């Protein structure tokens, strides 16, 4: 539900209640007005029905602003030209990863939230992209760069920033704190008031801000307002699970964190009824699902368990774990949906596979990915033990082979993984490099020393064009087929992000599920051969309705015998539908 169903007084009352809980020592009425002032003037107050927030046409591209470069041109300008020439009408939305001045982590240590990195371009370039696509912008909400004005002011005891950061006594037992890194949690910092120890969940260049201070909340509301004013429509809450800190707790998923997300949703929808919040919480599946709230937190949550499970299924030629997880996933609540992805600028998260893959299966998968050139990044658990946090590898190279070793089916496995993602309930999101079958970037890995660099290649425009134009090459094959599949998907009502989904029970080598449009006019049976062997499919096992005509959307094959058999080639994908007029 959007705030347009609320009167302004009702909206203020909801904000008032949340602020009273978060900041009991503040004047909630004055703080409510301050929040409305910080988010800024309304841009759009149209009523938006939940089912119209997105459609089967929506597809997101995830990219850095400098993923493709051309000498003498601003990277954002080069990116827009490449997207316009090659991907206009394919993608409806683009996530430009942090495009602000930064000091590390390829943008996620933000120095200044209000500026575009001059090495990329300027706000006009961001505005131009927002004219062609729904634009997703990152709100790096948990931490700022140690080179930011706020942190420098903290060191000098000046405003703004003097009281914006979380301090802790290094002698206090902080072993309960959940973290995704192995570096020390506290950073020793010299200040005008002496030595202080500040909280750093990720790295010592990324210093956590203190949302227990209402001034910090107002700063970030102002930043959200600025992004919406500049054309962003989707706001990604980066690492939001760690937002609120309390000594003596895990400092992850605290009730106050959920209250802040609820507050941001109310104010974001007030500002622009078409704006969407996306939570980025790379955590076990059940924890991730909590960020839907009661349809009052994130509109969209990343489907973090999908990447490791899809990769495992294709490496093992076995959908058992993927199918079990899919059966356990609840339909998204009204006004919410999933963001499905199989690769991103980060590695393949392993925490979302906890409780879903056995330790032996996880170990075998990681050993296989390492044999394909991947790297493993680690975290420290509450007992001080090192645990695998993510696998760093390009998606293309993750599919060099199976548990049996390398083979000739690398391209087919990559395409199959993306065809699964395209059909699963939710909105599909493609990482830039998956479109071109980009291999591991060992040169960048060696230059930076950071494992994640292996999947963050910077293409020159000429080299990228050569890759997608090389007849019969992996880049050309993948690029052309994925664009075709995305366009097919966009015409199918049964692929609406909230359309019904049921998992089918076939044999382990064949993963299958059924989608039905919300008006029940279309069914699609999505069937995938996960093996390098031909598989026989008995059509009677999927129970196609005999009074309707069926065809495969991908190959165009018409199914003449509904009780016959089909031979599935290695890694072949079927989208069997009864819908004869996709333009209707």
Active site residues: 238
* Contacts by 502-507, CB closer than 8 A, 24 or more apart: 503/323, 503/326, 503/327, 504/542, 505/323, 506/537, 506/541, 506/542, 507/535
**Burial category of 549 from C-beta neighbours within 10 Å (exposed 0-12, middle 13-18, buried 19 and up):** middle
Instruction: Note the residue count of the chain.
Output: 584
Q: How many Å is the Cα radius of gyration of the chain?
A: 24
Asked if 356 and 305 touch (Cβ cutoff 8 Å), the reply is yes
Indicate the Cα dihedral angle 351, 355, 361, 364, nearest 10°: 20
Element (H, E) at 323: helix 320-328
What's the DSSP call for residue 569?
Answer: P
**Burial category of 478 from C-beta neighbours within 10 Å (exposed 0-12, middle 13-18, buried 19 and up):** buried
Q: Which residues contact 339 (CB under 8 A, 6 or more apart)?
A: 60, 278, 300, 301, 302, 303, 426, 427, 429
β partners of residue 187: 198
Label each residue of 326-364 as H, E or C: HHHCCCCCCCCEEEECCCCCCCEECHHHCCCCCHHHHHH
Q: Which ranges constitute the DSSP H helices of 207-302?
A: 214-229, 255-271, 285-289
484-509 CB burial, b ≥16 within 10 A, e <16: ebbebbbebbbbbbbbebebbebebb
Whole-number Å distance between alpha carbons of 245 and 209: 10
Question: CA of 430: how far to CAs of 95, 270, 343, 446, 465, in Å?
Answer: 10, 30, 7, 26, 19
Question: CA of 523: how far to CAs of 66, 79, 108, 265, 582, in Å?
Answer: 40, 37, 42, 34, 12
Residue 439, preceding peptide bond in cis (omega within 30° of 0): no
150 — alpha (psi -120 to 50), left (phi > 0) or beta?
alpha
Q: Token pair 């382990």 is at which residue? A: 508
Q: Which residues contact 255 (CB under 8 A, 6 or more apart)?
A: none
Question: CA of 96: how far to CAs of 86, 247, 323, 455, in Å?
Answer: 17, 35, 32, 16
What's the DSSP call for residue 159?
Answer: T
Closest by CA to 64, choosing from 123, 108, 130, is 108
Closest by CA to 280, choosing from 202, 175, 372, 219, is 202
DSSP code string of 249-275: S--SS-HHHHHHHHHHHHHHHHHBTT-
């Amino acid at each position: 539900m959007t705030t347009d169903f609320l009167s302004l007084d009702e909206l203020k009352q909801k904000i008032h209640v949340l602020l009273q809980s978060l900041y009991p020592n503040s004047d909630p009425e004055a703080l409510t007005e301050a929040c409305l002032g910080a988010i800024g003037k309304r841009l759009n107050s149209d009523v938006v029905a939940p089912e119209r927030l997105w459609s089967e046409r929506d597809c997101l591209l995830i990219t850095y602003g400098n993923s493709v470069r051309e000498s003498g041109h601003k990277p954002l300008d080069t990116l827009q030209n490449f997207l316009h020439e090659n991907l206009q009408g394919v993608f409806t939305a683009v996530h430009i990863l942090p495009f602000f001045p930064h000091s590390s982590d390829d943008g996620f240590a933000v120095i200044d939230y209000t500026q575009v990195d001059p090495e990329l371009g300027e706000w006009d370039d961001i505005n131009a992209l927002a004219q062609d696509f729904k634009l997703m912008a990152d709100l790096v909400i948990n931490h700022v760069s140690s080179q930011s004005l706020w942190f420098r002011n903290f060191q000098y005891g000046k405003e703004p920033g003097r009281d914006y950061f979380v301090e802790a006594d290094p002698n206090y037992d902080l072993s309960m704190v959940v973290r995704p890194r192995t570096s020390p949690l506290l950073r020793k910092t010299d200040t005008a008031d002496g030595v202080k120890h500040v909280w750093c969940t990720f790295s010592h260049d990324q210093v956590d801000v203190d949302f227990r201070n209402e001034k910090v909340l107002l700063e970030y509301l102002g930043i959200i307002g600025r992004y919406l004013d500049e054309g962003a429509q989707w706001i990604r809450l980066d690492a939001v699970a760690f937002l609120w800190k309390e000594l003596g707790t895990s400092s992850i998923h605290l009730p106050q964190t959920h209250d802040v997300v609820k507050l941001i949703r109310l104010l974001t929808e007030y500002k622009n009824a078409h704006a969407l919040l996306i939570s980025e919480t790379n955590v076990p599946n059940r924890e991730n699902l909590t960020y839907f709230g009661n349809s009052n937190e994130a509109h969209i949550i990343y489907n973090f368990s999908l990447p490791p499970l899809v990769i495992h299924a294709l490496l093992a030629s076995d959908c058992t774990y993927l199918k079990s997880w899919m059966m356990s996933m609840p339909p998204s609540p009204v006004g919410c949906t999933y963001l499905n992805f199989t690769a991103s600028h980060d590695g393949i998260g392993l925490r979302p596979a906890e409780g879903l893959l056995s330790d032996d299966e996880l170990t075998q998968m990681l050993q296989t990915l390492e044999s394909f050139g991947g790297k493993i990044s680690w975290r420290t658990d509450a007992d001080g033990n090192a645990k695998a946090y993510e696998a760093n590898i390009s998606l293309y190279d993750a599919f060099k082979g199976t548990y049996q070793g390398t083979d000739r089916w690398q391209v087919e496995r990559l395409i199959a993984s993306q065809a699964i993602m395209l059909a699963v309930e939710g909105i599909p999101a493609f990482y830039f490099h998956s479109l071109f079958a980009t291999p591991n970037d060992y040169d960048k890995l060696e230059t930076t020393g950071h494992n994640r660099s292996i999947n963050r290649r910077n293409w020159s425009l000429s080299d990228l064009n050569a890759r997608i134009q090389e007849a019969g090459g992996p880049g050309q094959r993948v690029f052309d087929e994925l664009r075709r599949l995305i366009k097919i998907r966009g015409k199918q009502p049964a692929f609406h992000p909230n359309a019904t989904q049921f998992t089918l029970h076939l044999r382990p080598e064949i993963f299958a599920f059924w989608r039905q449009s919300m008006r029940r006019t279309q069914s699609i049976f999505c069937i995938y051969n996960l093996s390098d062997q031909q598989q026989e499919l008995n059509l009677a096992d999927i129970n196609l309705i005999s009074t309707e005509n069926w065809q495969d959307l991908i190959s165009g094959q018409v199914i003449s015998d509904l009780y016959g058999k089909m031979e599935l080639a290695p890694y072949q994908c079927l989208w069997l539908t009864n819908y004869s007029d996709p333009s209707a």
